[in-house]
Structure 1
Amino acid sequence: MARDDDTPPGIRHDPKISRRGFGLASLAIGSAVAAPALAEDGIMEMDVSVPTPDGTCDAAFFHGKKKAPGVVIIPDIVGLRPAFRRMGRRLATAGYSVLVINPYYRDAKAPVVPETFDFAKPEDRAIVFGLRGKMTTKTIDIDTAAFVDWLDKSHHVSKAKIGFTGYCMGGAIVMRAAAIRPDRVGAGASWHGGGLVSAAPDSPHLLAPKIKAEMTFGVAQDDDAKYPEGKTLLKKAMDDAGVKAKVEVYKANHGWCVPGSAAYNEPEAERAWAELLALYKRALV
């Protein structure tokens, strides 16, 4: 959990699948164009613009016919792309109004990488690491507060608590969202999150006293092998602050939850999905 580069080890080098596993396969999953009407599954997909103090964040929004609890999905370091649109739609079919955001909106609209993206190439890595490097705790806090406010104003969102779920770099962002908007964020989930525990003065685990939401942390087995103390320190921080939290190591490697990743592990991804739905059912009331 100390890693902050979101790069899983042991990823195969392939011209069609990047070292991180988020190349062509990931970009090819799902529909990148918003549908103007309800689909056969009863879910509407919309491209939306979320105003923030720093500009306008492009995002995908999924909702059904009735009001439902709002949820924000924070993508991994490669950003909003078709794989995450499919995940947003799937979550909406489970009974939620889902906002999937572009974390790099200050620099470019999603998707921010070309279809030929290959994490094994230094020039391609430079794209996403450059964008991620511009994000600060200040900009993250500004954005997550704006996402909560946007959902609260949507007539597709109920008055229930809001959920945040994040993948890789998104895990730390989820923790910040829960800390800065404890009045509205009722549940937070981090899957193969990076940089959750560190010696830095702004390490996310130090935010535990400000968090009121129920939290779930799914740790990749290879991340745990590199920093086994991380999960213990994270759980202790939550327990000491009185935060209801589950920290569990999954038998899968970093990136296992995202379809299209070379680390994708369907059985463990489905287990994480079931855990997420159970969390939201308990906490988003």
Structure 2
Amino acid sequence: MKEHIARIAAPDGVMETFVTRPEDGGPHPVVLFYMDAIGVREELKDMARRIGTAGYCVLLPNLFYRMAGIDEVLLDAQQIEVKGSDERKRFWGLVRSVNNDRVAADTRPLLDYARSLDGAAPGPAGCVGYCLSGQFVYTVAARYPDEIAAAASYYGAGIVTDQPDSPHLRTDDIRAELYLAFAEDDIWVPDSTVDALARCLEGSSVRHRIERYAGAHHGFAFPDRHCYDKAAAERHWERMLALFRRNLG
């Protein structure tokens, strides 16, 4: 695999982005990998590599670039759970630095950079997001309908809200095929939210599939987290890569 950290000029500064792609063959379709709320780390880089080995050029941007560099985030997942801790305060500060509009704007230079990469295919791209970034992949699919052909979200939060910028309100703008998976046990994404999203998509022409993973918890796909569920994680890989094969090649 070829790997490097790209320094991409974004709307509010330099957005460092981990890039991984196969050494041989090509051209390889582009996949944008939007991080969860813990930020870019080796765990996510390994997941990006797995996508890359399937024949894709993967970009994993540091969406917190407005607040910290890619190697400066390094959040402690356990300390984040401690109420009143400095790490928890820092975590929420970073999370508040991103929103749907900002990530949609950041995606333009990501797509442009991807097109300049040696070995990257010029056709439509795919995207995948987890937790915090579930709302971002949904938003990006709606904002870039001619450039995003497949979007996968896992235990994605914030896709359906009561706010005027709720991603689900732009469902009819989406042309990509969507795959959305949720955990059976998830305090961040209750069943009522999943049900509302299902109703929204069923009333649209968007190609989609929603699944709830029985017995799984929020974060089930992350191999270094206490909530990791190997069976659910492997299912998530199967579904994601099949989605990309159908729509990206």
TM-score greater than 0.5 by the shorter chain: yes
TM-score (norm 2): 0.92
Alignment pair present for 1:271 and 2:235: yes
Partner of 2:80: 119
Contact 2:157–2:189, Cα closer than 8 Å, also in 1 = no
Partner of 1:200: 163
Which range is displaced more, 193-202 or 255-264? 193-202
Q: CA deviation at 1:226?
A: 6.5
Partner Cα distance (2:189, 2:68) in 1: 33
Contact 1:80–1:110, Cα closer than 8 Å, also in 2 = yes
Which residues of 2 match residues 113-262 of structure 1 at below 5 A?
Answer: 113=74, 118-121=79-82, 122-223=85-186, 227-251=190-214, 252-262=216-226
Structure 1 pair 235–115 and aligned structure 2 pair: CA distance change class (3 A): closer
Return the structure number with greater relative CO, CA threshold 8 A, min gap 6. Answer: 1
Partner Cα distance (2:248, 2:171) in 1: 19
Aligned-pair identity in percent equals: 31
Partner Cα distance (1:276, 1:226) in 2: 20
- Structure 1 unaligned blocks of 5 or more: 1-42
- SS of 1:118's equivalent? helix
Partner of 1:84: 44
Contact 2:157–2:188, Cα closer than 8 Å, also in 1 = no
Partner Cα distance (1:143, 1:238) in 2: 26
Contact 1:45–1:89, Cα closer than 8 Å, also in 2 = no
Contact 1:196–1:204, Cα closer than 8 Å, also in 2 = yes
Contact 1:224–1:230, Cα closer than 8 Å, also in 2 = no
Partner Cα distance (1:116, 1:254) in 2: 14
- SS of 1:216's equivalent? strand
Q: What are the Cα deviations for residues 28-79 of structure 1, in whole angstroms up to 9, with x where unaligned?
A: xxxxxxxxxxxxxxx1111111221222110110011222000011111011
One of 82, 102, 124 as aligned partner of 2:62: 102
- Would you tell me which structure has more strand in proportion to its own residues? 2
Aligned letter for 1:239?
Answer: E
TM-score (norm 1): 0.81
Structure 1 pair 102–237 and aligned structure 2 pair: CA distance change class (3 A): same
Partner Cα distance (1:161, 1:278) in 2: 16
Which residues of 2 match residues 47-86 of structure 1 at below 5 A?
Answer: 47-64=5-22, 65=24, 66-86=26-46
- Structure 2 unaligned blocks of 5 or more: none
Q: CA deviation at 1:119?
A: 1.9
